Amino acid sequence: MRSISIHLVVAARPNMMKIAPVFQKLKEKSWAKFKLIHTGQHYDKEMSNVFLQDLQLPSPDFLLSVGSGTHAQQTARVMERYEEVCIQDNPDIVIVAGDVNSTMACAIVAKKLQKHLAHLEAGLRSFDRSMPEEINRILTDSISDILWTPSRDANEQLLKEGISPDSIDFVGNIMMDSFEMLRKKIEACSTLDDFGFKHKKFGVVTLHRPSNVDDPNSLKNIIETLSRISREIPLVFPVHPRTRERLEKNNLLDKLNKMQSIVLTQPLDYVQFMSLVKSSSAVITDSGGVQEETTYLGIPCLTLRETTERPITVTEGTNRLVSIENLEANLKTLLQGGCVNARVPEFWDGKTAERVVESLERFCQRKRML
Ligand code: UD1
């Protein structure tokens, strides 16, 4: 049997969670020869190394060390550096995940070098083109040969955009595979003790979207609201580097540090973070992945955004889109009543990586590569 050479691309924290389960499943297949490419979009220890280790990913075969910059700088650096690797290493298939700048950059490089391109987590749309991720999603999907979707509404969206049905495969939500892969560790983790939250009600906060943290007034308003909320329920807030920078710049970090009922931490590793979320009474976030994880775990989630590219977390799950004006009222209602009628969406079952690898094998057979 011929073997297929595959590049698995990671760049930022959320990509690592998506690629890790696929990496583990591919290991079982003798036909798959694969390499891990890390663009280095996230480079802090807490944002990268700790995640790779936690998710049982090895050191990358190629580390492109692109770092931060404007969108154009970051995208251009990824393209230049990945192009060299892609030419030199000449993979048959490139797998990209999610919607970060590196996802789109590597997708364009791979396709222009006429590689087969697969997008894991395809078909999500917020319909808000002011979000950089929306541009990354649309562009990546439009040139992918295999589009792996997390929910059926994503299939419908791709069909509306004229993508051939043969290219689309509904595989389910890969983030649940990461959770199941590490469930034992998550359940045995001592983070709750470390923060003094064992047997207590508490909330978790994560914020990093430009729409919330880049505007000083909006950031100040959020911090004041969190301060009021923390008088009702203590909060733990792992601070993303982008948010830390903005808090410091606007003299809000000291203020926040002095609030007794808000515990500020560095970004947590995956196991610690999931163990907190799993035991929390509610989560306040603007992340994409956290909306899905809370739906999976049945934890009320308040998303500080006007739109979501994951509407199924609202229609079927525990997610509510809120504004800073109505956050407190919504939280109160959720803490009293919980999330009635919420359920876990179809194929969010920890078996997505298996379906991804089966789909990949079928693609290779169809193309007579295997
Ligand atoms: C990126 C993704 C976003 C994803 C998020 C997850 C894009 C457009 N955005 O946002 O979709 O939800 O990752 O975390 O791709 N920084 C550090 N250390 C790091 C990484 C970043 O200090 O390891 C700081 C830098 O000041 C940098 C800023 O954070 O300028 C923003 O980083 P960047 O990778 O551009 O975007 P994120 O906000 O992390």
How many other CB atoms are there within 10 angstroms of residue 111's CB atom? 17
Mean pLDDT of the chain: 96
Amino acid 339: pLDDT: 83
Whose CA is closest to atom 21 on ligand 1? 42
Ligand 1 touching residue 242 (CB < 6 A): yes
Cross-strand bridge partners of residue 204: 236, 283
Q: Give, for ligand 1, the residue of 13, 50, 68 to mutate: max count of ligand atoms closer than 8 Å to Cβ.
A: 68
Amino acid 341: pLDDT: 87
- The encoded tokens of residue 324 equal 């800073």
* C-beta separation of 202 from 233 below 8 A: yes
- The encoded tokens of residue 292 equal 């899905």
Cross-strand bridge partners of residue 301: 283, 319
Ligand 1 touching residue 38 (CB < 6 A): no
How many other CB atoms are there within 10 angstroms of residue 127's CB atom? 11
Amino acid 273: pLDDT: 96
Residues 41-94: tens digit of each pLDDT: 999 999 999 999 999 999 999 999 999 999 999 999 999 999 999 999 999 999
Amino acid 197: pLDDT: 86
Instruction: List average pLDDT for each run of 10 residues in the chain, which is 370 residues long.
Output: 94 96 98 98 95 95 98 98 98 98 98 98 97 97 98 98 98 98 95 87 97 96 97 96 97 94 95 96 97 97 98 97 96 87 96 98 96
Whose CA is closest to atom 18 on ligand 1? 44
**What whole-number distance in Å separates Cα of residue 209 and Cα of residue 206?**
10
Catalytic residue among 42, 119, 208, 240: 208
The three-point CA angle 130-152-320 to 5° equals: 55
Helices 270-279 and 288-297, interaxial angle, to 10°?
Answer: 50
Amino acid 30: pLDDT: 97
Q: If you write DSSP's letter for every residue of 216-281 in order, what string do you get?
A: HHHHHHHHHHHHHHHTTS-EEEEPPHHHHHHHHHTT-HHHHHT-TTEEEESPPPHHHHHHHHHH-S
Amino acid 198: pLDDT: 82
**What whole-number distance in Å separates Cα of residue 49 and Cα of residue 42?**
9
Q: Is 240 a catalytic residue?
A: no
Stated pTM of the model: 0.97
Burial class (CB in 10 A: 0-12, 13-18, 19+), 166: exposed
